[in-house]
Amino acid sequence: MSIEVKIPAVGESISSGVVSVWHKKSGDHVDAGDALFTLETDKVSTEIVAEKAGVLETLVPEGQEVKIGEVVATIDDSKAAPAKPAPAEKKTASASDETKKPAAPRERAAGAQALSPAVRRIVDEEHIDTASVGGMGKGGRLTKGDVLAAAENRGAKQTGDGESGAPPVKDQKDRQSAGDRFTRKRMSPLRRKIAAQLVMAQHTAAILTTFNECDMRAVQELRAKSQEAFTKKNGLKLGFMSFFIKAAIEGLRAVPTLNSRIEDEDFIENHFYDIGVAVGTERGLVVPVVRDADKKSFAGLERDIADYAAKAREGKLKIEDLQGGTFTISNGGVYGSLLSTPILNPPQSGILGMHKIMDRPMAVGGKIDIRPMMYLALSYDHRAVDGKEAVTFLIKVKECIEDPSKLPLDF
């Protein structure tokens, strides 16, 4: 029997995605659990695995937009190996075997030239390079819809280019990957979304960054002391992030304007604390949101973060997991960053950047002592937040971290 491979629901408000890469080809034998293809949506990307072993037959090409529930492949478990051609037609097949390999690209080029009348008009009028457009018609042929979409996408890109003053790439040769000098490939939907968000943040907010540093010794000692009991009680480790979330909430309480957003001519101050925690994944950065972080225990925060990290790795984050944060914490330290200027996650007004903990000689009580130090950065929207407030926030965070007894320790 053959089973259908359908696009699973990846989030409530996500209705479609793109089959970005097939990891297996039609005719391949797959085992249960083998990754079949990567599904990308504008928020998350995830690998879809085979539920059963059998011979795969793919039904959509790479790059095709697909709807949730759509059948994109079948797996036939009745065949152990790819089917062999029937004897009667084998002769003709073997006769052309030798010429088959070199002929394949030529056939494709010829196919690309055989354009339908409407496609031909649009290609001429819009100067579209047909080789760069994926065809959704029979046998991969270009349809009018394909080239209209290509023209539209390129139109959007060109106006963007124009604004930033970058010259549009005109040389057709330059558009393709040239040997090993460089590789050109289309950005994934997730990557494109991130790019658009970042540029939007830079364009709309007046972003400014203020710095400070904190001594991590107290937190490190407290963690070391409590780790065993905490792990035993909660079944997961006590990390640094929960301390910073709690410290940030103390900071936000002291400086409420930072827990806010600007909407047109209005200033909206939030009285709840939904804290986004940036998580790097293979496909890009995602920022799941810890809800009502002020009401959660340290263990509750650690559990939420661990759950989100696992979901992000498995590509199971839902869009609602990523929406509605009021403030964000980003930890570049996990990659070794000593200092950085984080970029706002619009429409939020502030983002706290954590960094690498490094032993540095510090002057403590008139003596030089080696302390585990971390630089802190706060990027903020100067439209909403004054410099004094931003500095106040960061000092509050620093104080809480250096003296955790200021935090509601509940483990």
Partner 1 sequence: MDKFDVVIIGSGPGGYIAAIRAGQLGLKTTIVEKDKELGGTCLNIGCIPSKALLTSSDHFMFAKKEAQKHGIMIDNVHVDLTKMLQRKDKVVKTLTGGVRALMKTNKVTTFEGLGTITAPGKVSVQSSNGGKQEIETKNIVIATGSVPMELPFAKFDGKTIVSSTEALCFTEPPPKLLVIGAGAIGLELGSVWSRLGSEVTFLEFLPRIAVGFDLELSNQLQRALTAQGMTFHLEAKVTAIKIDNGRATATATKGNEELKFDADKVLVSVGRRAFSDGLGAEKIGVALDERKRVKIDNHFRTNVEGIYAIGDVVAGPMLAHKAEDEGIACVEIIAGKSGHVNYDVIPGIIYTNPELAGVGLTEEQAKEKGIDFRIGKFPFRANGRAIANEDVEGMVKFVADAKTDRILGAHILQHAASELIAEAASVMEFGGSSEDLGRTCHSHPTLSEAVKEAALAVEKRALHIVNR
Tokens in use for 338? 């000593």
Length of the chain: 411
Q: Which of 135, 350 has the CB closer to partner 1?
A: 135
**Residue 203 catalytic?**
no
Supply φ then ψ for residue 302, to 5 degrees: -60, -35
- Closer of 108 and 313 to partner 1 (Cβ): 108
For partner 1, the closer CB: 81 or 368? 81
> Pairing state of beta strands 289-290 and 350-354?
unpaired
Contacts with partner 1 by CB under 8 A lie at 1-2, 4, 57, 74, 76, 78-79, 83-89, 116-119, 121, 136-138, 141, 143-145, 148-149
In this structure, the number of other CB atoms found within 10 A of the CB of residue 270 comes to 18
CB of 32 to partner 1, least distance (A): 19
Least distance from partner 1 to the Cβ atom of residue 33, Å:
23
Distance of CA 356 to the CA centre of its chain: 22
Min separation Cβ 95 and partner 1, Å: 16
Spell out where 195-337 has E strands. 207-215, 260-263, 266-269, 275-277, 279-281, 284-286, 289-290, 327-331
Q: Do 404 and 383 contact (CB within 8 A), yes or no?
A: no
Q: Is 386 an annotated catalytic residue? A: yes
Q: Single out the catalytic residue among 23, 28, 76, 382.
A: 382
The DSSP call for residue 264 is T
- Token reading at 174: 């330059």
Q: Could you give phi then psi for residue 136, rounded to 5 degrees?
A: -105, 0
Least separation in angstroms between residue 74's CB and partner 1 is: 7
Q: Kindly state the smallest distance separating residue 23's Cβ from partner 1, in Å.
A: 20
C-alpha 163/C-alpha 352 separation (Å) is 30
Identify which of residues 55 and 312 has a Cβ nearer to partner 1 in the complex. Answer: 55
Bridge partners (DSSP) of residue 392 are none
The distance of closest approach from Cβ of residue 115 to partner 1 in the complex, given in angstroms and rounded to an integer, is: 10
Q: How is residue 386 written in tokens?
A: 């004054």
Pairing of strands 327-331, 289-290: unpaired
Q: CB nearer to partner 1: give 114 or 206.
A: 114
Cα–Cα distance for residue pair 308/289, rounded to 1 Å: 9
Q: Among residues 128 and 205, whose Cβ is nearest to partner 1?
A: 128
Looking at beta carbons only, is 49 or 148 nearer to partner 1? 148
Shortest approach of partner 1 to residue 192 CB, angstroms?
20
Determine which one of 124, 292, 386, 410 is catalytic: 386
Angstrom distances, CA of residue 165 to CA of 116, 159, 160, 161, 208: 36, 10, 9, 6, 24
SS3 273: coil
Q: How far is Cα 55 from Cα 5, in angstroms, rounded to an integer?
A: 12
User: What are the catalytic residues?
Assistant: 382, 386
